[in-house]
Homo-oligomer: A and B are copies of this chain.
């Protein structure tokens, strides 16, 4: 029988997690809201679906070594380096083509490396349900997060009919929706038919590539060619940059009429900012999450990341995010971490070494 192949997309860059994230150390390599990196936790979460021997990581070529350090269980040959980022469609197409060589009917479970999941068992149960649908229907399965707030920062999936009476947990997809305005998001939340687009997917390697070849035939054939190359690194270096930079949602899911959605009830976050990270876990009754070497006296609702080996001492403060690194410390009022971006832009001009 075909196997399950976890595909971890670890190509993100992003400056929203400055000062911990830098141009040479993006978010997925950070221990945000925990002791291990988001990438390491993503691996541990998906490996039990099959085996690390069937898992793949796609990351920027300069981060291949770091990814191997964070996920030593994965065979080194299955950590793929993109010479440049080309969004999710080429990334997944390449992974599908690599799997297809040996297990064409193998099912890819595709997940970003930098998300947070509250319930790992629940996560895997939902993934296995998605794998089942992908196999039975030869379809493209996306996972929709049951929304808990009228978020305007996410795309939404509008669910269509259930597959059948016995399978209420899987639905057809009526349509994909761009990030809504606040009023629309509130309607979505009240209506109960809209789900957050998680960016997590399940599909057979061959089914995906066939669907892709209808919409982007060059991308499908080029990825198959690079996957079969003897010298993969050179092949990617020569060919990857020429692929169309496009998301898998635009490239494949939206034009396809073979898409299903499995609702995901597990707690989920795309950890888009320090504020989002601070919401994920509490470490003490006062609502603080204190990581690393932190000494706190009478503090409340403080997220403090003291994992740089220095000491953070906090007295009588509240509603702060504090992030300490070797050469910079950020202190930001909770609720305002989106302003980190403008600060980093300022720094790029004045002190680029620290960005």
Chain A contacts to B: CB under 8 angstroms = 19, 295, 297-298, 310-317, 320, 322, 324, 326-333, 336-337, 339-340, 342-343, 346-347, 351, 354
Contact = CB atoms under 8 A, between A and B. Distances in A.
Nearest to A327: B310
A331 B305 CA distance: 13
Contact of A313 (B298, B312, B317, B343): B343
A318 to B, nearest CB: 8
Given A297-B339, A320-B317, A331 B312 contact: yes
Contacts of A295: 343, 346-347
Given A297-B343, A310-B327, 13 more contacts: A297-B342, A310-B328, A311-B328, A312-B331, A313-B329, A314-B332, A315-B331, A315-B332, A315-B337, A317-B320, A322-B331, A329-B329, A331-B331
Contacts of A297: 339, 342-343
A314 to B, nearest CB: 5
A331 B343 contact: no
A317 B329 contact: no
B329 A315 contact: no
- Among A312, A315, A320, A351, max chain B CB count under 10 A is at A315
Contact of A329 (B19, B298, B310): B310
Contact of A333 (B315, B329, B342): B315
20 contacts: A295-B347, A297-B342, A297-B343, A310-B326, A310-B327, A310-B329, A311-B328, A311-B347, A311-B351, A313-B328, A313-B329, A313-B330, A313-B332, A313-B343, A314-B332, A315-B330, A315-B332, A315-B339, A316-B336, A320-B331
Contact of A315 (B313, B317, B340): B340
A87 B320 CA distance: 42
Contacts of A324: 329
Contacts of A333: 315-317
A295 B349 CA distance: 13
Contacts of A298: 339
A288 to B, nearest CB: 13
Given A320-B331, A343-B297, A336 B310 contact: no
A68 B268 CA distance: 60
Contacts of A329: 310-313, 324, 329
Contacts of A336: 315-316
A82 B82 CA distance: 66
- Among A313, A320, A346, A347, max chain B CB count under 10 A is at A313
A329 B340 CA distance: 20
A329 B336 CA distance: 21
A311 B354 contact: yes
Nearest to A338: B315
A324 B313 CA distance: 10
A347 to B, nearest CB: 7
A343 B330 contact: no
Nearest to A306: B329
Contacts of A330: 313-315
A14 to B, nearest CB: 17
A222 to B, nearest CB: 43
A295 B344 CA distance: 10
Contact of A317 (B327, B331, B343): B331
